[in-house]
Structure 1
Amino acid sequence: MKKHRKILTTSFLCLSLTMGYSCELKPKNGNATIIAQAVAPIAENTKSNTVKIALLLDTSNSMDGLINQAKSQLWDIVNEFTHAKCGNDGRPELQIAIYQYGNDDLSSREGYIQQVLNFSSDLDEISEKLFSLRTNGGEEYCGEVIQTSLRQLEWGKNPDNLKMIFIAGNEPFTQGKLNYKDAASNAKEKDIIINTIYCGNYQQGVQSDWKSGALLTGGEYMAIDHNREIVHIKTPYDDVILKLNTKLNGTYISYGALGISKMEMQTSQDNNAMELEEAVAVKRAVSKSSRLYNNKNWDLVDAYEDKDFDVNGIKESELPEVLQGKSKKEIASYIESKKIERKKIQKEIQDLHAKRETYIVTNAKDNSSGELENAMLRAIKKQAKVKNYNWE
């Protein structure tokens, strides 16, 4: 069987990497969180920095070990980029899109390519889509999937934004009717960097043009050992963080048409992480306590932080039962109480996370970090410097 599932791993890394944002050198106003739906493109916000990352994942045949590694490392990368900031101390926004290619279950008319997720900043949605991927044999057309993402996604024209493609696989980069060099040329015109991840021997990837595919746009070529097993270190702080995560979920107040389904998604992604390994669930909990986990499109506490949000504009039928029949003052007071509770829990998690990291460094082993994670972070940080990024 082919090793394309390695690609999935890569995708996860890429997702996290996306969390590193591009920065404007001059301060600009505007801090609105971008919420994307899988079915519609997001209008460009020219007043705030945004990192746009498209993950192009080969889902032909099986590579469960790599996929699981990617799923678990997603939260490592998210947590790494929690502290990313621009030169003007701004905090950029993150959007991630996901494509799968090379799967026999996909339409041959579309070149065995499918958009799984349009640009989105919803971490739960990104996680859900990654967990939904299934592998099957097929033809892998790298040039065509790159060109498809260039054509279908709204990349925008803001020169301050960081725009990146991460494509992963292990078949020759030259397959398909569309020449990858033409796709790379089109990407360069749009100021989009293509990074390639070959799952296998470094030299073999070079010989099959994966390195060439990256260098044409100034991107990074990486080769990884997808079979490397990651050993997660259990710490004395894990159980406490997981209990705090349960309390954290209790601070969310759903509203609108998306409310109930999004709360269910939050829980299901907690469960997905836990099924992989307890340590992964802990890392996800840490991500949920960061600024990158924002759900203002369905949670009243996050929405309340938005200066343009007016709680009085919410219909009573769109409120949870606990707030129906309450006065506007009572609703505002309830939201404020949950806001205070959430901030307290998030701080507790972050404090424990710092202690946990110290414990892990002290007890780390050679295989306690993933090759995908390391490779992606190196590429992201290198390219982010051009956009004036730095890490606290």
Structure 2
Amino acid sequence: MKTPFKTLILAVSLVSLLACNANSKNRTQDLAISEIVIKTTSKNKNPEIKVALLLDTSNSMDGLIDQAKAQLWKIVNELSYAKCEDKSPNLKIALYEYGNDNLNVEEGYLRQVIAFSDDLDEISKSLFSLTTNGGNEYCGKVIETALNQLEWGSSNNDLKLIFIAGNEPYSQGNVSYKEASKLAHNNDVTVNTIFCGDYNQGISTKWKDGADLTHGNYMAINHNEATIHIASPYDDEILELNEKLNQTYIAYGSAGRAKMEMQAEQDSNARSYNKANAVSRTVSKSSRLYKNSSWDLVDAEKEKDFSYEALDNKQLPKELQGKSESEIKSFIEKKSKERNKLQDQIVALNIKRRNFVTQQSNDATNNLETAMIKALKTQAEKKNYKWE
């Protein structure tokens, strides 16, 4: 089958963030939907932050997983405001679950849910796939596995972070957390630990020691704390713009159509918490971190190796099949202008929304989002990152 600008079979992947003067690697990945999609070779040399999120999915961690699902878009939005020198860092995220009896005992009751990815819809889908069940939590083992399996890169300027969250002793399992920490330190990866429970209990069960060994942050959170979403007068208008924004995507091929359906599904997942969370996702979709060049012609056209001549007519959406190159180009340009205008409107409304929420928010929170953003900024500042 012919494909546009070099074909690629993408796999479910998710995870990697921001870093200074990093050379970004392009990796061929297999899509879970097993469909051929557009391949575009990015020449982007923006800094990256690579974040591996290791979540305990044992029985007692329903609250933690719920927080991760509800707070993903707030974390992404906060990272979208980061700057390194004069560049806007890219974000890649990876996800592991551990401590669940449904997982393979021989592999240490852990599973890579998604490798480093900048596909925010895939990451959201992966989070919503998580379920909890009783099990054994081996922190040293899951850290070692993430260090060995993921492509961290060799740039000294990359910001490479692990966040591990759980509530059992950090020292369990046959892989020493101290050896895992040493491996992380040798690879310039900082381990940040999030204990779900009492702060002093986390210290006594070695969670703080695990962070200290790599100069990371130790934090204790209330994993059962309900996520607070503050409604604003701008929410309805932002959500209306989201519906229009979705109409600017031009899905290429059968995989593209499946990815568009996934986009709608993740909109629905965000709404399942409440309107404010759906608004946070819409804001993320208007940011530079929301990239879909593997299946959307508007994003793909911006890539350096995109070629109109290489487009396969059979893989085009019906409204573009049989059209001339100039007609296709005109259609894509029209959708691109529409999207830019909508995104600008969302950004402008979100500035007002952020100011409103800041004024209304009086209570300090002690949850996953707060802990991660605090640690991210602490580690990022060491690499000269700034926030707009």
In structure 1, the partner of 2:340 is 343
TM-score computed with the length of structure 2 as normaliser: 0.89
1:50 touches 1:161 (CA, 8 Å); kept in 2? yes
Counterparts of 2:45 and 2:356, CA distance in 1: 40
In structure 2, the partner of 1:84 is 82
2:195 touches 2:220 (CA, 8 Å); kept in 1? yes
2:42 touches 2:304 (CA, 8 Å); kept in 1? no
> Residue deviations 1:61-106, cap 9 Å, x none?
144333222222111111112121111x112222111111110001
> Residue deviations 1:184-224, cap 9 Å, x none?
11111111111100000000000000000111111111000
1:145 equivalenced with 2:160 (yes/no): no
Q: CA deviation at 1:258?
A: 2.5
Counterparts of 2:289 and 2:27, CA distance in 1: 11
> Residue deviations 1:326-370, cap 9 Å, x none?
001000000000000000111111111111112212222316x55
3-state SS, counterpart of residue 303 of structure 2: coil
In structure 1, the partner of 2:378 is 382
TM-score computed with the length of structure 1 as normaliser: 0.89
Counterparts of 1:44 and 1:116, CA distance in 2: 24
1:100 touches 1:116 (CA, 8 Å); kept in 2? yes
In structure 2, the partner of 1:319 is 316
In structure 2, the partner of 1:216 is 213
Structure 2 stretches lacking a partner, 5+ long: 1-13, 33-40
**Alignment identity in percent?**
54
Which residue of 231, 234, 254 corresponds with 1:234? 231
Which residue of 236, 243, 247 corresponds with 1:246? 243
2:42 touches 2:303 (CA, 8 Å); kept in 1? no
In structure 2, the partner of 1:65 is 63
Call closer, same or farther: CA 1:233–1:62 in 2, change over 3 Å.
same
In structure 2, the partner of 1:296 is 293
Q: CA deviation at 1:51?
A: 1.4
Call closer, same or farther: CA 1:170–1:223 in 2, change over 3 Å.
same
1:119 touches 1:153 (CA, 8 Å); kept in 2? yes
Counterparts of 1:149 and 1:358, CA distance in 2: 38
Amino acid at match of 1:199: C
Amino acid at match of 2:344: K
Q: Which moved more, 1:291-300 or 1:382-391?
A: 382-391
Counterparts of 1:347 and 1:33, CA distance in 2: 29
- Number of residues of Structure 1 aligned to a counterpart in Structure 2: 367
In structure 1, the partner of 2:306 is 309
Counterparts of 1:271 and 1:185, CA distance in 2: 42
In structure 1, the partner of 2:162 is 165
Counterparts of 2:50 and 2:31, CA distance in 1: 14
Q: CA deviation at 1:165?
A: 0.6
Q: CA deviation at 1:378?
A: 1.4
1:52 touches 1:164 (CA, 8 Å); kept in 2? yes
Call closer, same or farther: CA 1:332–1:362 in 2, change over 3 Å.
same
In structure 1, the partner of 2:198 is 201
Counterparts of 1:381 and 1:105, CA distance in 2: 35
2:119 touches 2:292 (CA, 8 Å); kept in 1? yes
Which residue of 358, 381, 391 corresponds with 2:387? 391
Amino acid at match of 1:74: L
1:74 equivalenced with 2:65 (yes/no): no
1:355 equivalenced with 2:339 (yes/no): no
1:191 equivalenced with 2:188 (yes/no): yes
Amino acid at match of 2:278: A
> Residue deviations 1:231-267, cap 9 Å, x none?
3221111111111101000000011452011101100
3-state SS, counterpart of residue 289 of structure 2: coil
Amino acid at match of 1:200: G
1:127 equivalenced with 2:124 (yes/no): yes
Amino acid at match of 1:378: K
Q: How does 1:81-120 map to 2 (within 5 A)?
A: 81-87=79-85, 89-120=86-117
Counterparts of 2:185 and 2:255, CA distance in 1: 37
2:43 touches 2:304 (CA, 8 Å); kept in 1? no
Amino acid at match of 1:75: W
2:26 touches 2:42 (CA, 8 Å); kept in 1? no
Q: CA deviation at 1:31?
A: 8.1
3-state SS, counterpart of residue 336 of structure 1: helix
Counterparts of 1:73 and 1:117, CA distance in 2: 18
Q: Which moved more, 1:162-171 or 1:92-101?
A: 92-101
In structure 2, the partner of 1:181 is 178
1:44 touches 1:156 (CA, 8 Å); kept in 2? no
- Alpha-carbon RMSD across the aligned residues, in angstroms, is 2.2
Counterparts of 2:290 and 2:42, CA distance in 1: 20
